[in-house]
Structure 1
Amino acid sequence: MEKKYFVTSAEMKKYDKTTIEHFEVPSLVLMERAALETAEEIEKRFKKGSRVLVISGTGNNGGDGIAVGRILMQRGYEVDFVLIGEQAKCSKETRRQLDIIAKYECPMKSKIESMEYDIIIDALFGIGLSRNVEGIYKNCIETMNDICGFIVSVDIPSGINADTGEVMNAAVKADITVTFAYEKLGHILYPGCEYCGEVLCKDIGITDESFLGEEPLVYSYADRYKEQAAALMPARNRGGNKGTFGKVLVVAGSRNMSGACELCARSAYRIGAGMVKIVTPEENREIIQKNLPEALLSTYSDAEKPEAWEVFSQDLKESMKWADCIVIGPGIGKSGTAHRLFEYTVKESAKDLVIDADGLNLLAESEELQESLRTAALREGRQIIITPHVAEFARLYGCKPEEVKKDIISKTKKLADRLCGTVVCKDARTAVAHYEERCVYLNVTGNDGMATAGSGDVLAGIIAGLLAQGGKGREAALTGVFLHGRLGDLAAEKTGRYAVMAGDLTEQLKYILSDEGKRR
């Protein structure tokens, strides 16, 4: 599957160094290419004669900015250059750029002397920033934001941490960001992505060969799949039947909580599963049969009584044998019955398992059940996929939610390793990690309209439906998360983000997969 990489500061520096030293492409050639690409983006938007302010720091990012300003000056723009910091501390490449503009008799100023500019080129800090911005640098950033001009950040808005997206005390609010070779994590993660404006990633000659066999840690699906989402789907057997396309068992819902199991089951059907059976309390029977008559149904009453549980558990055992995969958790609560259902499902079946919502809270309370899942995964090859939001993740991991948000990639991978499964950590940017894979998937589809009750139930059903059709756990999770986000984007286009409901996501599956055969 075609990938799009998001790199850390250290990775990008490594690839830059490899290109220069191993492939012997001079650093000034890379800098000139970066400057040309940036200048051309400005030329697309502003006519000659526009006033340009270049704010450069002493690192290589500053050299990029100076080169951009020099190119624009030579093409008819009015350019002022400002260097923040001591010239003696400039990098070798930036000193070279200073020497070049000096020969063109361009004065280099040490402070911003005017607030009247059409374009501001932000080249104060690059991707190496790791500490809070203070003093003259903070003042400079605030001044850039105050100028009523179009801000172009070179590589990343100054003040944004390239690895975490964190605002380092102050940050430039760019209209566009022109970055090079690969997008950085700080362009993607919140809040950094909100400071970047439109991100334009340009080829300057640093290619995948610079990985030297070890690809970056974080990736997503290539942008083309946003318009060709159906290409991610498993192939359909034209001669198949309902059994061919898999059987999903949905253990979900509780009294007055019928919606979770309905949303989950409907999504499993919509993504292509052949048969779906719902295990839920008797109180939900009528509404499920009315709203989702396609679903098979197994209900229970008074399951906390030993004699009732003994009878029902046999039915549950048969249902688990019937299924190709199981979803447990949406809306089941934390009652005694919920505990029994969850423990029984974990211990008495080896079928692939998707755990969501209340199932995750029950799992967090039992180290014994976590160990059972680990053992089943390692000894029996049972595929375990968990889909926690940040708070559920924190309970399982043993940390605070804010710690998860600050380190979602690393922590998702560590929890996947601990549980020997696939972990889908749901947030504004969802991370997916598998214990046998080094790299972590970071999802960039979706929007804030999806922050609504039931959205996670839809995702659990989609992933289970893909598993039932023969998908591997990791691939089912990746595809499910990507498609789930696309459904949210399509729903938001139709209703606006404020009006999106979980049911809208499932409805969009009818349209996003309608051309499945044409785009394979």
Structure 2
Amino acid sequence: MVNHSALDSLVVSAAEMRAIEEYLFTQGMPVAALMEKAALAVAQRVLFWYPRFSYPTVGVLVGPGHNGGDGLVVARELALQQYQVKIYCPFERLKPLTQAHADYARCLGIPFVSNLEALRDCTFLIDAWFGFGLTRPFTGQIATEIDQLNTWPQPIVSIDIPSGLHTDSGAVLGMALRAQRSFCLGLWKRAYFQDAALAYLGQVERLDIGIPPQWIDAVLSPLPACQRFTSAMARRVFPQRPLVTHKYQQGHVLLICGSQRYAGGAILTALGARASGVGMVSVAVPQSLKPLLVGHCPEALVIACPETEQGAIASVPDLEAIWHQYQAVAIGPGLTTENPPLVEQVLAYPGPLILDADALNSLAGQGWLSRLQQRTLPTVLTPHLGELKRLFPHLENPQVDRLEAAQMAAQQSQALVLFKGARTIIAGPSGPTWIIAESTPALARGGSGDVLTGLMGGLLAQASPATYLETVALSAWWHAQAGILASQARSPMGVDALTLSQSLVSIAQQVLNQENF
């Protein structure tokens, strides 16, 4: 059941948001009342972020629908606070409630201007042209004016979602306004977590407009397919240690990784696993890398493997005989694609299995889906966009709607899919799709994915089967928070993978100390 504290985690589609609003109206809430609540919430935040002594003049872009009505109420409230307000509404026909607010604004003496150029001297602009639910690309005058507005220096504040973005996919519908700040009304919309939309959203806030949680329950049963993974969820899933325990009760993870060409991948994966707090870490590497691994991660058990002529792992000694020792296995970082049979062999592991990097590339195009579907315990796939396209070439435009692409990939493979990107998505064949809502471009650095794979392997080795999906999401959240923390100290350009692995420990300390993020 949804409560007020959980509202911030819900992410809805345009259809789901529309259904919630329709239910509110059938329960007796007047449309005008909802508009007033939403617009007053926006006005309060505008007053905070754009105070009149710094931003005395505001231009409001008013559309024909209820988003335009929201803008007119905001225009009225700002005018009452002594802002100089101008309204630009290039539409002849408005919805009745929006028309009523336009008439009232005229009665208050707020000027309506007939062309966009009249707003050029405003210190900031409010975008109330189109809210959620837009599906058709802009053409003609509106497209031309959006293009023009995007060249102006004034900050733009968008109500609900920047005009021109698809509410679900975040795709640009021909042309979209680039906002400095976007206020999402009621519940988070899917576009806010799509990579395609991030350059247009600016700083984002969700504004509570008083939707009773029980009414959300009544409409969204079960809950929305997508949810933000929050710090509160991280605390619930975070591994806890009893007072009396020993290392073999805290999980044992096997990492199969590295080659002479990519020796660092094995080291960074091991360091990520170490930061997870897992009881034991075993690392299978080419035998020539064993001294290197022991030097960087002396507590790990290093399995020296026979090598190919190119310095990759040829085989892991007695692999199937030692399966029972491990609670999770991760394979791929730095592996190279020289030995696909090794990856095929690892698919027989009877426990949680992470396939990353070259393990994914080794499987692509080899009829691997049926093998994954036969596994009884979870397989985790960790593709970036290019790898996802190779693994699932029949998916249409996975870059356009990343949430849908992750969900479809999970259903087709019966695996847990961690789809990497500026907003990482974690989807399973059933259950919620988790979104990592905060991250940093500092993670766009060689080796950061290796750290994530090791961290995830260590966490899965400590997790119960009931929490595998949430544990995968926890690893991505923890990894992102460590990147944010490191970038605050060293700048986004200064976060190398080793620094990232060290920052994981600081995030763990904050979580265990119940600190706020």
TM-score in terms of structure 1 length: 0.90
- In the alignment, which of 480, 494, 518 is matched to residue 489 of structure 2? 494
Residue equivalent to 2:266: 261
Partner AA of 1:411 in structure 2: A
Instruction: State the Cα deviation string for residues 351-373 of structure 1 (Å, max 9, x = none).
Output: 22111111111222322x43233
Match of 1:403, SS state, is: coil
Question: Could you say which residue in structure 1 is the equivalent of 2:88?
Answer: 82
Q: 1:315 is paired with a residue of what secondary structure?
A: coil
Distance 2:155 2:96 in 1: 29
Query: Structure 2 matches for 1:400-439, cutoff 5 A?
Result: 403-437=397-431, 439=432
> Kindly tell me: are residues 141 and 240 of structure 1, through their superposed partners in 2, closer, same or farther at Cα, counting changes over 3 Å?
same
Once the two structures are superposed, the pairs formed by residues 243-392 of structure 1 within 5 Å of their partners are 243-302=248-307, 315-335=318-338, 338-347=339-348, 349-367=349-367, 369-377=368-376, 382-392=377-387
Compared with structure 1, are the counterparts of its residues 232 and 132 closer, same or farther at alpha carbon in structure 2 (3 Å cutoff)?
same
- 8 Å contact kept, 1:116–1:148: no
Q: Measured at CA, do residues 109 and 257 of structure 1 come closer, stay the same or move farther in structure 2, by a change above 3 Å?
A: closer
Query: Is residue 256–residue 284 contact of structure 2 (8 Å, CA) maintained in 1?
Result: yes
Residue type of the partner of 1:210? I
The Cα shift of 1:313 comes to 5.6
SS at structure 1 position matched to 2:513: coil
Does the CA-based 8 Å contact 2:271-2:454 persist in structure 1? Answer: yes
Which residue is equivalent to 1:450? 443
Tell whether the 8 Å contact from 1:385 to 1:473 is kept in structure 2 after alignment: no
Q: Distance in 1 between matches of 2:196 and 2:251?
A: 40
How big is the shift at 1:132? 1.9
How many angstroms apart in 2 are the aligned matches of 1:58 and 1:51? 23
Matched-pair contact (CA < 8 Å) for 1:117–1:148: no
Distance 2:471 2:373 in 1: 19
Tell me how far 1:148 sits from its aligned partner: 4.3
Does the 8 A contact of 1:120 with 1:144 survive in 2? no
Structure 1, unaligned runs of 5 or more: none
Q: Which amino acid aligns with 1:237?
A: P
Q: What pairs with 1:41-120 in structure 2 (closer than 5 Å)?
A: 41-44=45-48, 45-47=50-52, 50-87=56-93, 90-112=94-116, 114=118, 115-120=120-125
Paired residue for 2:29, among 19, 25, 34? 25
**Which deviations, in whole Å up to 9, do the C-alpha atoms of 1:431-450 show, x marking residues without a partner?**
1111122x311212321111
* 1:230–1:512 contact (8 Å) kept in structure 2: no
Runs of 4+ in 1 over 3 A off after TM superposition: 102-110, 142-150, 228-232, 515-518
For residues 388 and 168 of structure 1, the distance between their equivalents in structure 2, rounded to whole angstroms, comes to 27
Local SS of the residue matching 1:474: helix
CA distance in 2 between counterparts of 1:516 and 1:428 reads 23
* CA distance in structure 1 between the partners assigned to 2:132 and 2:180 by the alignment: 18
Give a deviation string over 1:380-401, Cα, whole Å, max 9, x none.
xx1211111111111111158x
Compare 260-269 and 272-281 and name the one that shifted more: 260-269
Does the residue aligned with 1:250 lie in a helix, a strand or coil? strand
* Paired positions, count: 499
Contact kept in structure 1, 2:194 and 2:401, CA below 8 Å: no
Tell me the CA shift for residue 28 of structure 1. Answer: 0.4
Decide whether the 8 Å contact of 2:79 with 2:85 is kept in 1: yes
Deviation at 1:317, TM superposition (A): 2.4
In structure 1, the partner of 2:228 is 220
- Specify the SS of the correspondent of 1:240: coil
Q: Measure how far apart 1:497 and its partner are.
A: 1.0
Amino acid at match of 1:500: V
1:460 aligned residue = 453
Distance 1:469-1:290 versus aligned 2 partners, 3 A rule: same
Shift of 1:128: 2.3
Moved more, 106-115 or 93-102: 106-115
1:503 to 493, 498, 506: 498
- CA shift, 1:13, in A, is 1.5
- Check whether the contact 1:220–1:443 (CA below 8 A) recurs between aligned residues: yes
Structure 1 position 38 matched with structure 2 position 42: yes
CA apart distance, 1:143: 4.1
- State the alpha-carbon separation in 2 of the partners of residues 259 and 105 from structure 1: 68
**Cα distance 1:452–1:55, how it changes in 2: closer, same or farther (>3 A)?**
same
Between 167-176 and 263-272, the greater mean CA deviation after superposition: 167-176
Amino acid in structure 2 at the alignment position of 1:395: R
Percent of paired sites with the same residue = 29
Range with bigger deviation, 102-111 or 251-260: 102-111
**Following the alignment from structure 1 to structure 2, what is the Cα–Cα distance between the partners of residues 157 and 59?**
14
Q: Deviations over 1:135-158 (max 9, x none)?
A: 221233244345543422221122
Gap regions ≥5 residues in structure 2 = none
SS of 2:302 mapped into structure 1:
strand
Any idea what the Cα deviations from partners look like across 1:386-427, whole Å, max 9, x if unmatched? 111111111111158x92221211121111112212111111
Distance 1:143 1:313 in 2: 61
Matched, 1:236 2:241: yes
Whole-Å separation in 2 of the counterparts to 1:269 and 1:113? 59
Quick one: which of 10, 14, 18 aligns to 1:9?
14
Deviation at 1:207, TM superposition (A): 3.9
Alpha-carbon separation, structure 2, partners of 1:470 and 1:477: 10
Query: What is the CA-CA distance between 1:61 and the residue it aligns to?
Result: 0.9
Tell me, yes or no, if the aligned pair for 1:166 and 1:192 is still in contact at 8 Å.
yes
Change (3 A) 1:33 1:467: same
In structure 2, the CA distance between the partners of 1:188 and 1:419, relative to structure 1 (3 Å rule), is: closer
TM normalised by structure 2 equals 0.90
CA–CA distance in 2 between the matches of 1:148 and 1:259?
45
Is residue 170–residue 401 contact of structure 2 (8 Å, CA) maintained in 1? no
Q: Give 2:329's aligned amino acid.
A: I
Give distance in 2, aligned partners of 1:211 and 1:166: 29
Rounded to whole Å, the distance in 1 between the matches of 2:341 and 2:216 is: 53
Post-superposition CA distance 1:19-68 (Å, at most 9, x none): 112x2111100111122122222323322792222221111111111111
